[in-house]
Homo-oligomer: A and B are copies of this chain.
Amino acid sequence: MTKYIYGIDIGGTTVKMGLFDEKGDMLEKWEIVTRKENNGENILPDIVKSIKEKNTEKSIETDDILGIGMGVPGPITEDGRVLKCANLGWGIFSVADEMSKLTGVEKVKVGNDANVAALGEQWRGGGRGFDNIVMVTLGTGVGGGIIMDGKILTGENGAAGEIGHITVNPKETLTCGCGCKGCLEQYSSATGVIRMAKERLEASDKPSELRKFSADEIGGKEVFDAYKAGDELAAEAVNEFAIYLGMGLGNVASVVDTQAFVIGGGLSKNGPVVIDIVKEQYRKNVMFALKNTEFRLAELGNDAGMYGAVRMVLQ
């Protein structure tokens, strides 16, 4: 009798849902809308409805479900309680208990979405073959997840691996979304590299490929494309991105001394060049013993969270 696992990654816009077999291979995936109105009260019921429809379609009985794994965009304790999730409108409650009650499935594992994606990459993606990785997601912000001995490091407040909020510039005057100043996320996210490019475009008349775009059209890809084409102004922004990221990851290494960094998120789609420049800066910031830490690109893209969610169930 085949057993099944649901791997679910709740995002601010859509919920990514996957049906997996007991070996952890994905059978199919689909998405539903994340309805955030009324403090997100529909989110879990919508997910449950979608699971039940899939069960009916595939003739899956509740007893055939080994468990449900979920990634949630907020701090989560080891036992699956969400500690307020502004993105979804949720307050403090046990997501794991609630899902168990709604589905009748006993084993429900819940983790922070960045941590769960890190686990997915370590299990089936760019971190394959390592027991200890730090995943860094370079998107709108800078996310992080730490895997130790094949398991998520959650931390006392569910805030372990929040490497986007490492302070890398004590002289910064702009405030980060977290309320502090000089966080890694202010420089090494897509938002950060775009801001640094635009500041340079405004501050000088230096010729640049980027001037052919309107301000709204400049994204991380445009900055990196210009950098790869030898554009000097883009290179200044990309270098600053890399200097701070190298410094931030050097600091992470001095704390946990991991085997490998796995770099994901939108900016990582600019390819191996991202790894090359970050690694160069990283090596400038770490003591001898840490210079050979490996760097890998993430491989699972948007599926990482679903794989990690399934992995939690199998652990």
Contact = CB atoms under 8 A, between A and B. Distances in A.
A290 interface: yes
Contacts of A170: 168-169, 243-244, 247
A92 interface: no
Contacts of A292: 157
A146 B255 contact: yes
Interface residues of A, number: 48
A31 B77 CA distance: 45
Interface stretch (A63-71, A192-200, A263-271, A279-287): A279-287
Among A165, A247, A254, A256, the one with the most B-chain Cβ atoms within 10 Å of its Cβ is: A254
Among A163, A169, A256, A292, the one with the most B-chain Cβ atoms within 10 Å of its Cβ is: A256
A55 interface: no
A43 B180 CA distance: 49
Nearest to A176: B287
B167 A257 contact: no
A155 B251 contact: no
A167 B293 contact: no
A156 interface: yes
Interface in A163-189: 163, 165-171, 178-180
A255 B161 contact: yes
Given A251-B167, A251-B251, A178 B257 contact: no
Interface string A205-239: 00000000000000000000000000000000000
Nearest to A256: B160
A287 B252 contact: no
B178 A156 contact: no
A7 interface: no
Interface string A33-57: 0000000000000000000000000
Contacts of A166: 250-251, 254-255
Among A83, A243, A284, the one with the most B-chain Cβ atoms within 10 Å of its Cβ is: A284
A257 B252 CA distance: 12
A-B pairs with the 8 shortest C-beta distances? A155-B257, A160-B257, A178-B287, A159-B289, A157-B289, A255-B255, A159-B257, A166-B251
Interface of A: 75, 83, 132, 146, 148, 153-163, 165-171, 178-180, 243-244, 247, 250-259, 284-290, 292-293
Given A132-B156, A180-B286, 11 more contacts: A83-B289, A153-B257, A155-B256, A155-B257, A157-B257, A157-B289, A161-B257, A162-B287, A165-B286, A251-B251, A256-B256
